[in-house]
Amino acid sequence: MSLTYNQLLTQIQPRPIQSPSDYEAMLSELERLMEIEDSQLSDEEASMLELLAILIEDYETKTTPMPNTASPHDVLDELVTAHQLRQKDLLDIFGSKGIASEVFNRKRSISKAQAKALGARFNLSPSVFL
C-alpha cells in the first residue's frame, strides 16, 4: 500500500540538512526509496525521492566543495570519502575487486555503465564520472 504525500511528509519529515546526522537520516530515507522498483514507485514516493535528492545535493554542495578541474576519479574519491565508503561497498557497480581496484588506482577509466550506476548511487549526473 502506497502512502499519500502528506503521510510521507509526516513519516520522513524532510527539511534542510544542518548536520551530519540529519544528512545520514535523509540519505537513509533516499536509499530506502531507491530500493523500490521503478514500476512499483508511486508518484508520491517519486516526488519524495526527488525532494530528498535536492536536499542531499544542497548539503553536499555546501559541505564538500569540489574543484572545477576535478577528474572523474577525483570526484569518485571525494564521494567515497564523504560517504565513508570503501572499494568493497561499490563492488555491485564495478563487478569485481580487480576492476574496482584498477579504477580506484586510476589504471582504468570509469565505463559508461559504471558512470550511470555511480550517478544513480550518488544522485549526480553520470557525466561527472566520464
- What's the pTM value of the predicted model, to 2 decimals? 0.51
29's CB contacts (< 8 A; 6+ apart) are: 12, 14, 48, 52
Per-residue pLDDT tens listing for the chain (130 residues) = 578 889 988 999 999 999 999 999 999 999 988 888 888 889 999 999 999 999 999 998 888 766 567 899 999 999 999 999 999 999 999 999 999 999 999 999 999 999 999 999 999 888 889 8
- Domain ranges in the chain are 5-63, 72-129
User: Which overall architecture, per CATH, does domain 72-129 show?
Assistant: Orthogonal Bundle (1.10)
Closest CA to 58 of 123, 127, 129, 128: 123
